[in-house]
Amino acid sequence: MNRYRLQIDGMTCEACARHLRHSLESLPGVTASVSYPRGEAWIEAPPGTPTARLLDAVREAGYRGVVTRRGGEGSPREGSARIHIAIVGSGSAAFAAALRAVERGAEVTLIERQGRIGGTCVNVGCVPSKFLIRAAQTAWHASHHPFDGIARTPLRVERPRLLARQRALVEKLREKKYEEILASHADIRLIRGEARFTAPLTLSVSRAEGGEEEITADRILLATGSRPHVPPVPGLSETPFWTSTEALESDIIPQHLVVIGGSVVALELAQAFLHLGSRVTLVARSRLLSRSEPLLGERLAALLREEGMEVITHAVPTEVSHDGDAFHILLPHGTVTADRLLVASGRVPNTDRLALERAGVNTDPHGAVEVNERLETSAPGVYAAGDCTTLPRYVYVAAAAGTRAAVNMTGGDAHLDLSVLPTVVFTEPAVAEVGLREEEAISRGLQAESRVLELEHLPRAQVELDIRGFIKLVAEKGSGRLLGAQILATEGGELIQSAALAIRAGMTVADLADQLHPYLTRVEGLRLCAQTFERDPASLSCCAG
C-alpha cells in the first residue's frame, strides 16, 4: 500500500472530517484517517492509485487538499508519492504554475522546445519592445520637445549600441527571473525538447540532445504560448519580411518601413521606428484598434499623422514582392515601395504540433485551447494557460492563469476572474482601457452615459505643454456606478489601474469625483472627468475640490 499525507483546507467541524473520510474511502481499496483539528488526512491506497484521484475526491467533497511529504510522530512513515505535473512551455504562465505547484507539494517537469527559457515576454516581447519604445521616445523628445529656451537636439541614433544594451537587459532578466529561480528549485525538472500527446495524460518528448522520453503525469498544463501570424498575402512568404521578433533584433533603422497591422504590436513598433528616424507607412485592414473604443483609434491615428506617419486604413495588401533591394506592396490605391516590411497582424497559438486530439483537448477554429474559469480543458486532468488558450493575450493574464491552474491541479479551487481587465497600448500618448465601452454597456441592457474630458482641462497636461488626448468615463444612469474608462494620455497605463480599482470597488462617479488626488498629477484627470457628470470642467478652478 502507498501512504500519503494531505493538508486539508475548508473543514469547519468534526462532521467535515467524517464526510471527507467517507468520500476518500469511496475510492477502491482506500482507507483514510482525517483530523479536523490538525487539518490533515492520512491515506493508504493501493499501488497505482493516482494521487490526482485522491485530490479529486477531496474537491468533490467540498474541500481543498495538497499532497505533502511531511510526517509526524505516530503517523505513517513519510512517503515519496507526490502529485506529478508536466508543464509544456517555460514562459510566464508555465513558470507561475511551476512555482505555485511546488509550493503546494507537487513535483514538476517543465518541457521547453526552444534553446532558451522564459517564453515570449522576456525574450522577444514585453521586455525588448518596451526598452525600444522608451529609447525611441527619449530620442524623439530630445528633438521635438515644446520648451522654448532648451535646444532641440538633432536626432542621432546608433542602433547597434542600443541593441547591445537591449540584449544585455534581456539576458539579465532571463537569468535572474527564470534561470536562477529554476536552478533553486530541486522539485522542478527541466527537459529541453518538443512534447506531443500519445495518450490523455502521457506525453512523448523528442529531446533536443536526441532520443525520446515518455512522461506520464497526474496533471498536464499546456502553456506553449503563441507566434506571429503571417497573413496569406500572395508573394509575402517568399520575401524577407520582418515579424516583431526580427524587428526587435535588427541592428538597422530602415529608411522607409511599411507596417501591416492596426493593433497593439503594429502601433507600438511603427511609432517606435518613426521616433528613431524611419519614414513609416502603416497599413490597417480596418480602423486602428478595431476592438477598442472608436474614439481611441480615431484620435491616435490623427496624432500619428501629425508626427509624420502615413496611416492607411481599410486597406489590405493584395500582393507583396521583393526585388533584392526593396519591397513592393500592392494596395488597392497603388503600390508602396519600402526597404523593410514589418508584418504585425496578430498572433496564433502554438498548439498545432501537440497532437491534442490524442488527449481529447478541444480548440477553437484558430487552434486556441478552450478553457473554463478553472483553466480546465475538455480533457480530464489537462489544463491550459497563457497565449495558447482562448484567454486574452496579456502576460499578466497568463501569469494569473498559471498560478490558478496550479492551485486547481493540486486540489484547490481557484477561478480566473477577468471581469475587470485593464489593458494598455504603449504608444505615446498611451492607450488604456478597462471595463465596458458605452456601446457594450447598452448592448448588455444597461442604461449608460459617458463624459469625455479633453486633456486641455488637466493642469498637469497644461504645465507640460502636452494636451494631447482625453479621458472618457462610462457610468450607469441613475446609480452613477462606474462601468468603464477609456484613456488616451501620456502614461495612460499608470492611470488605468486607478479606474480598474474604482470599478472593482463598485464606486460611482460621484465617489470618484470626491476622492483626494494629488495635484499636479495625470491621475487627477479621473477625478476631473468624474466631476463633468455634474459640471462643466471649463468653469472649475484649476485645483477645485
Catalytic residues: 11, 13, 16, 63, 121, 126, 542-543
Distance CA 199, CA 216 (A): 9
Q: The C-alpha cell of 248 is what?
A: 526587435
Cα angle vertex 489, ends 486, 491, to 5°?
Answer: 110
- Are 327 and 341 a contacting pair, CB within 8 Å? yes
Distance CA 44, CA 510 (A): 60
- Are 261 and 300 a contacting pair, CB within 8 Å? no
**Interior/surface letters 347-373, b for 16+ CB within 10 angstroms, e for the rest:** bbbbbeebebebbebebeeeebbebee
DSSP for residue 10: -
Q: The C-alpha cell of 67 is what?
A: 499532497
Q: Find, among 312, 316, 342, 338, the residue nearest to 327 by Cα.
A: 338
The reply to whether omega before 520 is within 30° of 0 (cis) is: yes
- Are 354 and 276 a contacting pair, CB within 8 Å? no
Q: Find, among 348, 325, 322, the residue nearest to 335 by Cα.
A: 322
For residue 69, give every residue at least 6 positions away whose Cβ sits within 8 Å of its Cβ, in sequence order, or none.
Answer: 5, 78, 79, 80, 82, 105
In 445-491, alpha helices (H): 459-463
User: Which residue type, as a one-letter code, is found at position 270?
Assistant: A
Helix (H, G, I), strand (E, B) or coil at 488: strand
